[in-house]
Structures are given as structure tokens and as C-alpha cells.
A = this chain, B = another copy of it.
Amino acid sequence: MRPTISDLGLNAGKKARLFRILFQSGLCNGTALFLPYDQGFEHGPRDFFANPDAADPGYVARLAVEGGFNGIVLQIGLAEKFCWDFAGEVPLILKLNGKTDIPSDTEALSPVTATVADAVRLGADAVGYTLYVGSPAQAADLGQYMRVREDAARLGMPLIVWAYPRGSAIEAKGGKDSFYAVDYAARVASELGADMVKVNFPHPEKRSGVPAEYYADFSPQEAMDAVVRSANRTLVLVSGGSRAGDEAMLEKARLSAAAGATGLIFGRNVWQRGHDESLKFAAKLQEILVKYPCHSIENFPRRHRSFGENMLLPS
């Protein structure tokens, strides 16, 4: 059900960069586990109080490398100051917009903070953009998004859309993580050209105010399946959100992978604990993803990278 990287209608640059993320990083099996690290901007340093080490971008970057993540997500400032140290060792996803959570979300809009050209210059393998689906500020949002989409297409840079239902209208129609809202958001990302879409896990039990089609009694698995279908050729990443119990998170991960999601993007649930615990939890997520390998696009026989074996092949 999950599309292969060759089915996505990508140009050569997007395909090469996604290949690096999905087949040359992490599990190298077409799945992805990303480490987002822009919470210092989105929520403030309070997110680091649970594990003060996590306030250090160098610490989190080492975690991304040690943990075999498929990518680390950074805002431009941390990327400029810390990426050089680990350039090439773990893919960089440059987040191109963001905001503080100080003002109200009623007319949510996430302003642009960097460009796709910045991402190219820093050697990033993807860019991220937060689209507040359903926000009354959607005109401004779609306007800045269009520019990002066009630059990403022109420069062959994969575009990951954080498709987040948000604003007064969505609050009146079931809230931001109803099945209706998440399903709609995934579809909007697909209709507007995202290569990957990051969604919250859908809650089919949140029905108050949603359109009639979403009144039925959907299971979480059915809801997640539908979200992946709505996204069609846009690969789905499921967000971890704020820290919750490990088993609940792993179940979310299992349902997502079973539905055909390509991967997980878990930040606070990873680094809001000690170093070794973080790596252990990441490994548990990978234990799930390793069971859902994606059809590889590798057209050609290929020597294994360890040199000893290399020697054997041509003889």
C-alpha cells in the first residue's frame, strides 16, 4: 500500500535526496525516524527542563547520529552554528518557518524564517514547512507556502509539510486532532505538493462538530489507514507530540506503520529523558519500523560497502 520512492513523481534531485534519507540513513529500509529539535522556538526552553542536556544542540545532534535517526530537524540558527560539526553524518531537515507559542492560535500563522536556498547551502536533504490547515490566516499561509514549494521543486529539495489543523474554525469543528481534521490536513498537503506530510495521530472519537461523514464508529487503525490513503503519493510521518507513556507511543507507532506510514517524527518523547534511555526508546521505535521495509528502488546490483566483500564480487 505504501508507495515506493519511484512511484512518487519526483524529479531527480528530490529522488536522490529522499533516497539518502530513506535508504542510506537509519535502518536503510525505506522507513524514517526523524528527530525534531525546534521546540526551543515553538515552546521555549521549558521543554528542556526535564533533561537539561537537551538544551545543547550538540548533545541532540550526537543523539541523532548515535541513535541512527534518518534526519534531524533544525531551525536556521542552530543549523548555521552546529551543522558543520556533523555535516553529512545525519541528514539535515531545515525547518523553514516557525513561531513562538506566546500569542493566541486563533488565527495561527507560522512565518518564514529561512529559504530553500539556505537549505541547499547547508547541505540539507529536505525542508520542512508548517501549514496551519483551516486557519483564518490561510491566505497568508498559502502565499508563503507557494514560494517554498516552487523553490523546492526548482532545487530538487524534498518538502515535508507539517500539516496542522489550527485556529478558531477548526476548534469549533472537532479540534485539531479529530480524525476529520487530520484526514483533511493530510489531503491538503497532498493537493498542494508535499513530498512528505507530518500529521498528528487521528482521534476518531472526537466527533463533536465534525461533518456527518465522520460520525461513524472508526477504529484508530481505520482512521490512520484513511489518512494514509488521503495522502496518496505523499509519504506520511506521524508526530509524537508532547511526551506520553512509552507504551501508548509505541502503539501509535505500530498502528501508523501498519497503515502504511513511512515513518515517525518523535522529539520530546525521545530527548526528554536521559541519554541512554533516549537511545533505548529510539531503538524500540526502530524495532517496529524494521518490520515494515519499503520496496527498494535499487535498480542495479550493488557491491556491499564493506571492502572485504567488495573484493569478492568481480572475481
Binding site for B on A (CB under 8 A): 8-9, 11-20, 23-24, 26-29, 38, 40-41, 44-46, 48-49, 52, 55-57, 61-62, 65-68, 75-89, 92, 98-100, 102-104, 109, 111-115, 117-118, 120-123, 133-136, 138-143, 146, 149-150, 153-156, 165, 167, 169-170, 173, 180, 183-184, 186-194, 211, 213-214, 226, 229-230, 232-234, 276, 279-280, 282-283, 286-287, 290, 298-303, 305, 307, 310-311, 313-315
Q: Are B68 and A150 touching (Cβ within 8 A)? A: no
Q: Are A81 and B8 touching (Cβ within 8 A)? A: yes
Contacts of A117 in B (CB 8 A): 154-155
Q: Which of A57, A78, A301 has the most CB of B within 10 A?
A: A78
Contacts of A279 in B (CB 8 A): 313-314
Partner of A180, one of B17, B44, B89, B92: B44
Top 7 closest pairs, chain A to chain B, by CB: A19-B88, A16-B123, A102-B134, A279-B314, A77-B193, A16-B87, A13-B123
Give the CA-CA distance A226 to B18 in the complex, in Å: 37
Q: Are A12 and B122 touching (Cβ within 8 A)? A: yes
Contacts of A44 in B (CB 8 A): 180, 183-184, 187-188, 211
Residue of B nearest to A133 (CB): B100
Contacts of A81 in B (CB 8 A): 8-9, 190, 193, 232-234
Residue of B nearest to A58 (CB): B232
Contacts of A26 in B (CB 8 A): 305
Partner of A150, one of B118, B234, B299, B314: B118
Q: What would 16 more interface pairs be, CB under 8 Å, given A44-B184, A75-B191?
A: A9-B80, A12-B79, A12-B83, A17-B88, A19-B89, A41-B187, A45-B184, A55-B230, A66-B303, A67-B303, A68-B305, A86-B300, A103-B169, A111-B141, A113-B146, A121-B155
CB distance from A294 to the nearest CB of B (A): 14
Q: Which of A57, A88, A92, A189 has the most CB of B within 10 A?
A: A88
- Interface SS, A side: helix
Contacts of A169 in B (CB 8 A): 102-104
CB distance from A192 to the nearest CB of B (A): 5
Q: Which of A136, A169, A213, A214 has the most CB of B within 10 A?
A: A213
Give the CA-CA distance A85 to B41 in the complex, in Å: 32
Residue of B nearest to A142 (CB): B111
Contacts of A122 in B (CB 8 A): 12-13, 16, 156
Q: Are B86 and A40 touching (Cβ within 8 A)? A: no
Given contacts A89-B300, A136-B103, A282-B314, contact A45 B187 (CB under 8 A): yes
